[in-house]
């Protein structure tokens, strides 16, 4: 039995996919009215309209009654600590982060926040190129499950693999987490470039040099280079930087076009960019695209000026 904390689009999609494969799944939400509506309509009309809940999926607003088994934490990165602070003690059950980014206040990754808040619970992260709508519709998706405990990683891999989600496993947790964090920042950069009319060649350059920044940060934190070439690195970067379904990419588009962006939409890359800039400074790492994204978000630099700044950097070998 598996529980999913957070009835946003991604948490709901995971719950649908897992339960569609026959597993008993509980989807938890804090909002009593939302839970009542989902129980009645058998769908999450607010986040994934038209996606019917399988019979094996139950909904609940009582976190204390969740069944034994892994707990998937499908909450935004910047709300993960608050969620863990409010939720009851789940004991030795594995806690699997389903968010991407770096906590702005502490500079910690998802599993590091879990380890700090719940030191007795095994921590893992599920990450990789995926959109909630694709998962809920049953479209083929491949994800990475990163966990330092190889035995637990294999167990979770089996539990979380569904009819349409193929899960690969790794023990390189830092690599998987940095890949998922940095790709959101690069998606903002790519969206801004396209929104400003700088073209697909500029986007390709940003993706490639953004991948170099991803590797630079990950290797400095002890990650393995091969991990960044996988789903949680290159794969997620390719998807997020090229699709309008990406909230980070759409946020970048709004910067490039000068249009407003819905403040209610969670953009993980905005806070993560600032956190990564601080981490890079502490590690004496050069991450010029990340720095430019922070300036774009703050409004201290325009898109074309940012590109000019990047293009005028000293020449060097690739």
What residues are labeled active site? 183
> Quick one: which of 311, 294, 312 has its CA closest to 192?
294
Determine how many CB atoms are found less than 10 A away from the CB of residue 213: 22
């Amino acid at each position: 039995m598996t529980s999913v904390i957070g009835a946003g689009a991604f948490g709901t999609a995971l719950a649908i996919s897992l339960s569609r494969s026959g597993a008993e799944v509980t989807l938890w939400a804090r909002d009593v009215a939302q839970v009542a509506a989902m129980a009645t309509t058998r769908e999450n009309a607010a986040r994934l309209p038209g996606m019917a809940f399988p019979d094996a999926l139950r909904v609940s607003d009582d976190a204390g009654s969740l069944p034994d088994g892994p707990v998937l934490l499908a909450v935004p990165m910047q709300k993960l600590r608050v969620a863990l602070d409010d939720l009851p003690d789940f004991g030795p059950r594995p806690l699997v982060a389903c968010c991407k980014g770096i906590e702005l206040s502490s500079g910690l990754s998802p599993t590091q926040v879990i380890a700090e808040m719940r030191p007795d619970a095994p921590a893992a992260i599920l990450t990789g190129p995926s959109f909630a709508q694709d998962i809920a519709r049953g479209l083929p998706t491949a994800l990475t499950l990163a966990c330092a405990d190889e035995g637990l990683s294999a167990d979770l891999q089996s539990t979380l693999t569904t009819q349409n989600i193929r899960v690969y496993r790794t023990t390189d947790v830092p690599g998987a987490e940095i890949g998922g964090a940095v790709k959101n920042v690069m998606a903002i950069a790519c969206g801004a470039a396209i929104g400003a009319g700088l073209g697909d060649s500029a986007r390709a350059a940003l993706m490639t040099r953004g991948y170099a920044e991803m590797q630079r940060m990950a290797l400095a934190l002890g990650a393995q280079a091969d991990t960044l070439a996988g789903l949680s690195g290159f794969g997620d970067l390719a998807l997020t930087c090229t699709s309008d379904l990406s909230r980070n990419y759409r946020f970048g588009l709004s910067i490039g076009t000068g249009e407003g962006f819905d403040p209610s939409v969670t953009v993980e890359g905005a806070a993560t960019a600032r956190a990564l800039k601080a981490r890079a400074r502490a590690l004496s790492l050069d991450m010029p695209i990340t720095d430019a994204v922070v300036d774009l978000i703050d409004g201290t630099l325009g898109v074309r000026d940012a590109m000019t700044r990047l293009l005028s950097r000293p020449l060097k070998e690739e």
